[in-house]
Amino acid sequence: MDSDDGSDAYGSDIEQQKQWEVGEPAISSTTSFDAYFLHTSARSQTSSNVFSSRVLPLTAEEYAKAIAACLPSHVDSPLIKMQRTGPWDMSTAFQRYARELVEGFNLLFYGFGSKRVILNKFATDCLSKKGHVIVVNGFQPNISLKDVISSIERVPGVLSTPSSGGSTEQRIYDFFAEATHDPLRRHLYLVVHNIDSPAMRSPKIKSVLSFLALNPNIHLIASIDRLNAPLLWSASEIIARKLPPHSPRDARSVVPKRGFAWLWHDLTTLASYDFELAYADRSSIAGAAALSTGGRSARQDLAAGGTTSGGSLSETAVMHVLAAVTAKARKLFALFATKQLENVEAASDNVTNLEQYGLAYDTLFSAARTAFIATNDTALRSLLGEFRDHGLILSATQGGPGGGETLWIPLRKERIAKILQSMADE
């Protein structure tokens, strides 16, 4: 019997070998353990084609041209392109807004879409009949407190009013505080587009606006477009209320509080932000991808201090970095920026390459040691490291290997001067 069993096993092996020889499929089972490692060892099929490297970002000119081509030719008025959402028609809404201003509130409009056209129409059709109207385009990157104050001072009589506190904003406050008792003095309506923009978020502008906003005869109408804009103000500033004076003498003697007395309104228009984006930096449109890919001569623009201002580098970004570094690092940056600004101003107005106006490393080290900022090479390179990592300071070796190192800030002289002024005001 054993021999029979052995012959059967031998015969089955021969039969299986014949199947393999003729190419018939053999049944095999793989365990889950083997299947897992077989799957994980397979090569990833992820594509190496990055979208930003295949499609270069648009420049400001290309963006404006593309937007202009998409707009319908039959649209003549911006109001036709904009549909206000809300329970009332535009005329009724304007009357409601005007009444709320009379009751002592300031208006803050939020919602998706540009609100510039509707607020300008509100100022033209309604507010201009009640008093002086000043429109502040907060989305302009170069807007400053001086521009706002200068516009208010153009109101007849403001400059001739004596100030009880000596400051310009106090004189403006005193002038309009007496409008209730002087029929010749009209109210002031301050329309601020994008009050949450980086330029309008400076401490000085916020302080002056919060001071004037609680004047009973100064009315603030503003718009916001950023999700976290309500975090710009404290709870006390938001819920503050105006206290109308009973007499001109009271208006001057009472020390006013600071706040905004906001009344919130949804002004969703779904309109494009073309006008607001027209004032943005090319860097905000081109993005850092152009710098990393070298597209559209971004690196040349960076070295020349062109309109890209170093890719995504801006005054706000510089101030954020300076706020996070040590006091010695800030002193070093101020010293470096002052030296480069002197070199640029001493040259001709046509500056094409900021690298040639930078500082040699040895020159910077000597100046830093004289100012007691860094007494050795290690300390100086440690302070420069933070600025190098964020792109605030660039460097290049002159004359090939072994040559001297040149450092420079990739910003034009106007922006460097503005940053130095902001650092001096802090």
Strands 405-408 and 394-397: antiparallel
Tell me the C-alpha distance between 316 and 423, whole Å. 12
- Chain-centroid distance, C-alpha 283: 11
Tell me the C-alpha distance between 313 and 311, whole Å. 6
pLDDT at 63 over 90: no
Extract the tokens encoding 302.
Answer: 């960076």
pLDDT of residue 304: 43
Residue 185's nearest CA partner among 251, 122, 126 is 251
pLDDT of residue 332: 92
The pTM (predicted TM-score) of the whole model is 0.55
Q: List, for residues 304-316, the tens digit of each pLDDT value.
A: 444 333 344 677 7
Residues facing residue 221 across a β-bridge: 107, 191
pLDDT of residue 291: 35
pLDDT at 195 over 60: yes
Residue 174's nearest CA partner among 244, 248, 115, 67 is 248
Mean pLDDT, residues 199-204: 85
- The radius of gyration of the chain's CA atoms, rounded to the nearest angstrom, is 33
- List domains and CATH numbers for the chain: 76-245+255-266 (3.40.50.300), 315-425 (1.10.10)
pLDDT of residue 219: 94
Amino acid at residue number 405: E
Instruction: Please tell me whether residue 74 adopts helix, strand or coil conformation.
Output: coil
pLDDT of residue 76: 44
pLDDT at 186 over 90: no
How many CA atoms lie less than 13 Å away from 143 in the CB half-sphere? 25
Tell me the C-alpha distance between 187 and 180, whole Å. 8
DSSP 181: T
161 contacts 154 by C-beta, under 8 angstroms: no
pLDDT of residue 99: 93
Tell me the C-alpha distance between 341 and 413, whole Å. 6
To the nearest whole number, what is the mean pLDDT of the chain? 76
Residues facing residue 406 across a β-bridge: 360, 396
Mean pLDDT, residues 74-90: 53
Tell me the C-alpha distance between 155 and 235, whole Å. 32
Q: List, for residues 169-183, the tens digit of each pLDDT value.
A: 888 888 888 766 666
111 contacts 167 by C-beta, under 8 angstroms: no
How many CA atoms lie less than 13 Å away from 278 in the CB half-sphere? 10
